[in-house]
Amino acid sequence: MKKLADMLSAELGNAFEAAGYDPKYGKVTLSNRPDLCEYQCNGAMAAAKEYHKAPFMIADDVVNQLKESTLIAEVESVKPGFINMKVNAEFLAEYMNGMSSEESLGFEKAENPKTIIIDYGGANVAKPLHVGHLRTAIIGESVKRIARFAGDQVIGDVHLGDWGYQMGLIITELKKRKPELPYFDEAFEGEYPEEAPFTIDELEEIYPTASAYAKEHEEYKEEALHATYLLQNGHKGYTAIWNHIMRVSVADLKKNYANLNVEFDLWKGESDAQPYIPDMVEYLKKEGYAHYDDGALVIDVKEETDTKEIPPCMILKSDGASLYGTTDLATLIEREKLYHPDEVVYVVDKRQELHFVQVFRSARKAHIVRDDTKLQFIGFGTMNGKDGKPFKTREGGVMRLESLIGDIEERMYGKIMENRAISEEEARKTAKIVGLSAIKYGDLSNQASKDYVFDVDRFTSAEGNTGPYILYTVVRIKSILNKYKEAKSEPVKGIVKSAQAESEKNLMLELARFNEAIENAYTEKAPHKICAYVYELANAFNRFYHETKILAEENEERQASFISMLLLTKEVFEACIDMLGFEAPERM
Ligand code: ARG
């Protein structure tokens, strides 16, 4: 469906034209004085310059043309020349019913869907997920769901860090502990065991141990670096260990991401880019895009308009080893070959911005992507503790994701048990759902690029701009609908009648803004715009709820209209929170 503001703009445009002015002045926006009107048009102010006329005279002329409008109920010109209007209630009710009849609730899907790859998650294999990985997972998942709702073909890729030094460290530590394993026997000819020589718990212990040890012992570090080199060059035994690490680690990661309601279409990683590197290096050299500088192969990427120094993108170190930029470029080659994306979006810590500037410029310069392929970096800020410093555990260590989620769930569980008597099992289940909303909403309601304070008390509160507040509102609607169903009949959608009360009309006006809110969030890849919308909607609903006797309404037709509006409200909420990556429980 057309957006309400656009329909009103067209109506105003016609009125400007009928009154002898250019229709372009008809642009209508949401009122910034909701106490006076619902929508406004300031076009007469601008038109005054062109027509050398007082703005209020133009506004008066336009208002006179709108007397018969079926879209606009009240319209008036206000000095010095604003046009204030209220939407026709009957038209608004029809708009509600139009929304109900569409699966996308009035949002117009893209006519030419794009293929978009979203690179997010970015977990490093064999290292536990920590809070730094939380933001990319939450934001990336939401950006993915928004684009999918908008009709694009979206591919989410976790792009694991699975090829680096950490692998060499694990191999070296394993060799130290279990030198008798066949992977370390160069003469071994048989089949390697199917079973991994470690569990996930051991693996998570091996890495930090090895990493700490390497920092203190130069020889050990050299050995780990060499093991990394051998692995990257196809060493048979090490490749077998690598496969074990991948299987054990990825299974664990999948579990963790599933707990977050985060789902990837592709479980690729840096290692998948390796086969493309040799040819890419040859090509870059042959075409003259890359050159040797002090033994290292680099691509110059600085531009005249740069205000700060952009260093060259390193492709090969002087010892021939590839780097982070090398993998990212080669990954773009693979993505182009396999998926022909129109857009590749990276949701990564904003401290990596320079890296992506280098990679994007190199990719353009060397024509690794098509000229019209859009490359976008969504850099997010740091999640801080209440002390304003990066979030840590009480002991000061890096907080593991699992324990952070566990803490929030515990907190929610306590609140739920405190509030009412429900079974422990249901309380646990609900705490999980609501806890996730607290974490995700707390994150997504901030503009991604900003740092924010992870405030458990605030995020888990049922009041204010929080996930639990939104969920309480949805649960309230579900409960009314259930009671109506028990006492009367199945709720029917699409039978909303003209609003009679102000809070009722306001709720409809908020609902009507759904398509506009989603469009904004989609074009700007900004989930916080959905949060802002959903919060306004919750406020509008709760005001209506407190001022209206829904279940006690005696006029059946009016009651059925309320119920129909509630059904739509529920659907709009559910669509929004699904795009944010969480869901509502049945009860709370
Ligand atoms: N694994 C990286 C990290 O933990 C993030 C990867 C981001 N994606 C990319 N294509 N570079 O920092």
Asked if residue 269 has its Cβ within 6 Å of ligand 1, the reply is no
Helix (H, G, I), strand (E, B) or coil at 124: strand
Write down the pLDDT at residue 396: 66
Write down the pLDDT at residue 69: 96
Write down the pLDDT at residue 170: 96
Pairing of strands 115-119, 343-349: parallel
**Taking the model in full, what pTM does it have?**
0.95
Q: Cα–Cα distances in Å, from 72 out to 4, 29, 376, 409, 540?
A: 11, 14, 41, 48, 21
* Structure-block tokens of residue 569: 């409200």
Asked if residue 328 has its Cβ within 6 Å of ligand 1, the reply is yes
Asked if residue 345 has its Cβ within 6 Å of ligand 1, the reply is no
Q: Kindly give the distance from the C-alpha atom of residue 133 to the centroid of ligand 1, in angstroms, as a whole number.
A: 10
Write down the pLDDT at residue 224: 96
Q: Kindly give the distance from the C-alpha atom of residue 352 to the centroid of ligand 1, in angstroms, as a whole number.
A: 9
The stretches of 352-466 forming alpha helices (DSSP H) are 353-365, 401-419, 424-444, 456-459
Write down the pLDDT at residue 525: 98
Asked if residue 118 has its Cβ within 6 Å of ligand 1, the reply is no
Which helix (H) or strand (E) covers residue 86, if one does?
strand 82-87
Write down the pLDDT at residue 233: 87
Q: Which of 119, 8, 116 shows the shortest CA–CA distance to 62?
A: 8
Write down the pLDDT at residue 400: 78
Phi, psi of 245 (to 5 degrees): -55, -45
Helix (H, G, I), strand (E, B) or coil at 453: strand
Strand partners, 392: 398
Q: Cα–Cα distances in Å, from 468 out to 283, 403, 440?
A: 54, 20, 11
Write down the pLDDT at residue 394: 67
Which of 117, 130, 159 is the pocket-test mutation for ligand 1 (most atoms within 8 Å of CB)?
159
Q: How far apart are CA 582 and CA 263, in angstroms?
A: 12
Q: Which of 471, 355, 377 shows the shortest CA–CA distance to 143?
A: 377
Provide block-wise average pLDDT over 10 residues at a time, the chain (588 residues).
Answer: 97 97 97 92 96 96 96 95 97 98 96 96 87 93 98 98 92 97 95 94 92 96 94 93 96 93 97 96 98 96 96 93 94 98 97 98 98 98 89 71 88 87 89 96 97 92 96 98 96 97 97 98 98 98 98 96 98 98 94
Q: Cα–Cα distances in Å, from 48 out to 45, 62, 83, 88, 95?
A: 5, 13, 13, 28, 33
Q: How far apart are CA 80 and CA 424, in angstroms?
A: 63
